[in-house]
Amino acid sequence: MSPSITAPGRRQDAAYFGPGGRFRPFRLLSEDVSSIKKRYVSDWALFNQQVMASAVYIFFTNILPGMTFANDLFIQTGKSWGTIEIIFSTGFCGLVFSIFSAQPLTILGVTGPFAVLAENIYDLCEGSFNVRFLPIMAWALIHAGWMHYLLAIFNAHDWTMQYVTNFSADIFSLLNSVIYFHKAALELQRTHSEVSLAAFLYSIIGAVGTCLFAILLSTANSWKPLFHRYVRLGLTEYAAAISIVLWIGIPHMGELADLDHLTLQVQTTLRPTDPERRSFFVKFWQVPIEWVFLSIIPGAIITVLFYFDHEISSIICTNKRYGIRKPGGFAWDIVLLGTTTIICGILGIPAANGLLPQAPLHSESLMYYELEPSPVTSDDEVREPPIHVARTYEQRYSAFIQAAMILAFISPPLQRVLGLTQTSVLAGLFMFMGYQSLSVNPILDRIVQLLSPPSDLPALPSGVTWLGIHTFTIAQIVLTGIVFGITLTVAAPAFPLIIIALVPVRLTLMNRIWSRETLRLVDGWACREGKPEDDTVQAEDVSTDEEKVLTPSYAGINLEFARLLLHQGCSVMLADLQLRPAAEALVKEYAPRSKSDSGNRPIALYHQTNVVSWPDLHSLWSAALEAFPTVDVVCPGAGIFEPAWSSFWEPPRTATNPDSASRDPADADLGHYAVLDINLTAPIRLSQMAIGHWTQRGEKGCLVHIGSVAGLVASFVTPLYTASKHGLHGFVRSLGGLRDELGIRVSAVAPGIVRTPMWDEDPTKAETITEDAVWVRPEDVAQAMLRLVVDEALGDGTVLEVLPGGTRVVPPFDAPPPSMVGVAWMGYMKAQQDIVNGLKKASHTN
């Protein structure tokens, strides 16, 4: 079946359950299985020193926080879970995911939020309802497992995570930090009740010392010129481990050894922590039948928590800045998570899921940089220096080794080693983990700004006020406090549902309280490009089937549009005389890895094309049809902004004006202006070819042109450019009837002034740029173009204006003029006066 675009106007059964539909069963799973087959062999083919160092580093950052939760759960769950259960779960689940997952960069372990949830379920079971905790938890995890299966089967990643913004994710991260700090305080409080005053006072010193020394060592990379750089790197990577080993050893020195220190409770035999249990197996079938069904409630809550936490962890550890090139698979990993959750429930151990900050720390430790040569442009231009590109060693060894090392600690000898750890050190580690989580949270920066004098705050973009930013920050802090307060009550098991409830609150309510500009500055989508305030159709309207898109020319706007389409799963062919470095990097990133690759993942191809050459356009079209089964969207995006070499005010060079900068031939039988050929004639010809192709095949299609606000106004400085955009808008409107008659939609964006390479490459335009110019972002124009692609209500000759203040569909008659913000650049009047002065001078000379 030909790839297509899914839009609201289609029938509901096709849009949701048809091929490529949002709820089409097993759609994402089948894609994930295909991705795993492609990458699996190569995942085991790479091993080097950095991979081994990463495994050791993640081992420490994973097992040490697990030890802290073990001590906490040992007390709060009535000895149901302890060190051996935590280590068993972390090692077992880590091994399973390192071998079978679609994304082995994700690190698994028992998380703080799950520990809080488990503690409250224990209180309800044992304290309120007088039922055994482990069988109920087993059923809750079994129910959570099949719920995970349903989420994966019906492609939940596509219709859930795309709505999450940084607003909710940052609150969730801040909540983790608060939980860490609170558990540190509880650890010291318990120590105070069980040891002497002297031992308690030392516990405070040990906790604070563990935290501060770890923080100090974590900054070792900035100690230059002190120590060799490898020594500084080692101190930074192993800061927590060094601090913990040191502060575990200090109490065994001198008179401190005589104090009654409280240490971690461990098992000296290979058996469960609970003395009443003889094996790692729960007799869950002995639970009364009503509790089998009642346990669905905590199972649903665990599902929400695990799904949200694991997806966020996977998304962050595969962030673009890590240069990830291999395909992942969210749906398959959710199935695997459901399986390990069920097994953990049956074994009577806590379930593990994706960890923050360990998952992104894993990618960070595997990151390296490679030099990519810049493209050769022409013989008379200087070659740009090579570019450092971030890459990550994408393999399975580091995750496998760290999980195996953790699992080894269930043995009695290594358990005794863990038993040397004082609870004061664990409290210090809680503080350090809280610090690590908080230090990378953007809320912290805005808290600092909130406490800073107004005179010390930087200037803000137009439409944004510090009052709006401060109230947004306060709202996040208050909501975090409310959720944390709920975790201390009997309603604590429901706190993940409250986090999820913040998502619709952010999308439906907050835009009525804060301005669009403020929300654009402080928030954005957590799992994809763009922001909710981009005023575009949501990404769920784009099918995950690969759409084939043809985009001639590749400047700033086209670069962002191509990148956006590739992120949405569409394949793209780019056409231009040559590619700029950023465009070439994108083509390399999405280059096909095999001849059959174009059907399995989005790819980007490049075809060298002179858009004013009709044979070149025919060659481009033939190349697109050879590479893709269909071409669904065409974007004739080439354009120039009336440079001096093709300007109305620089007529073609003749004997009477030998100093003209124009390159337009003066002796041609059929004269041409390059501005009109590139901006108007070429888009018309390419549109003609596309429409002819679609009508011959009886297919639907979409043409998205790049017009301009110049097509709505008049410009003395650039009359040819203005004429070309007026002509293009008229051409687009003239073809509007094709939508209803043939299903071919034709539209255009009309952006204000956009900072693209055209401004910098033309000296006559570059000198008119002023610091106070208000620009439209290329990303905003690309989002508007996506809206024209996916919204079938548009495309009947639609002209969509894009300005800094938002977008609007320009009516064909009696259209109100556009806002001047982002329309006229501040140097316009000077440019106009220079032209007038030149004309006057020529007139006086004659």
Give which of 430, 443, 425 is closest to 179, Cα–Cα. Answer: 430
Listing DSSP states for 444-475 in one string gives HHHHHHHHS-GGGSPP--TT--HHHHHHHHHH
Strands (E), 105-223: 108-109
Give the integer Cα–Cα distance in Å for 221 and 234: 9
Residues of the chain with CATH 3.40.50.720: 543-658+671-845
3-state helix, strand, coil in the chain (%, to 5): 60, 10, 35
Token pair for 510 = 């907050």
pLDDT greater than 80 at residue 635: yes
Least confident of 370-379, 791-800, 806-815: 370-379
Helices (H), 762-814: 763-766, 778-790
DSSP-derived pairing of the beta strands 571-576 and 604-608: parallel
Residue 138 pLDDT class (50, 70, 90 cuts): very high
DSSP 3-state of 357 = coil
What's the mean pLDDT in 525-549?
A: 52
Does a cis peptide bond (omega within 30 degrees of 0) precede residue 818? Answer: no
What's the chain's average pLDDT? Answer: 81
Give the integer Cα–Cα distance in Å for 74 and 67: 10
Mapped to the 3 state alphabet, what secondary structure does 537-595 carry?
Answer: CCHHHCCCCCCEEEEECCCHHHHHHHHHHHHCCCEEEEEECCCCHHHHHHHHHCCCCCC
Token pair for 758 = 């055209």
Token pair for 125 = 């079971």
Give which of 125, 116, 38, 102 is closest to 73, Cα–Cα. Answer: 116
DSSP-derived pairing of the beta strands 633-634 and 701-706: parallel
Token pair for 603 = 């790819």
pLDDT greater than 70 at residue 375: no
Residues paired with 754 in a beta bridge: 776
Longest Cα–Cα distance in the chain: 110
pLDDT greater than 70 at residue 612: yes
Give which of 728, 702, 551 is closest to 636, Cα–Cα. Answer: 551
Q: Which tens digit of pLDDT belongs to each residue from 695-721? A: 988 888 999 999 998 888 888 888 888
Q: Between residues 390 and 242, which one has the greater pLDDT?
A: 242
Least confident of 220-229, 603-612, 681-690, 835-844: 835-844
pLDDT greater than 60 at residue 824: no
pLDDT greater than 90 at residue 366: no
pLDDT greater than 80 at residue 842: no
What's the mean pLDDT in 87-96?
A: 95
Give the single-character DSSP code of 168. Answer: H
Radius of gyration of the chain (CA): 31
The pTM assigned to this predicted structure is 0.58
Class of domain 543-658+671-845 as given by CATH = alpha beta
Give the integer Cα–Cα distance in Å for 281 and 138: 10
Q: What percent of the chain is predicted at pLDDT more than 70? A: 84
DSSP 3-state of 411 = coil
pLDDT reported for residue 467: 92
pLDDT greater than 60 at residue 743: yes
Token pair for 61 = 């950052």
Token pair for 287 = 């639970």
Give the integer Cα–Cα distance in Å for 109 and 97: 11
What's the mean pLDDT in 278-287?
A: 87
CA distances from 219 to 212, 232, 240, 771 (A): 11, 9, 12, 37
pLDDT reported for residue 845: 59
Q: Residue 741 is which amino acid?
A: E
pLDDT reported for residue 313: 80
pLDDT reported for residue 40: 92
Torsion of CA 242, 248, 254, 258, to 10 degrees: 170
Give the integer Cα–Cα distance in Å for 19 and 27: 8
Least confident of 34-43, 352-361, 523-532: 523-532
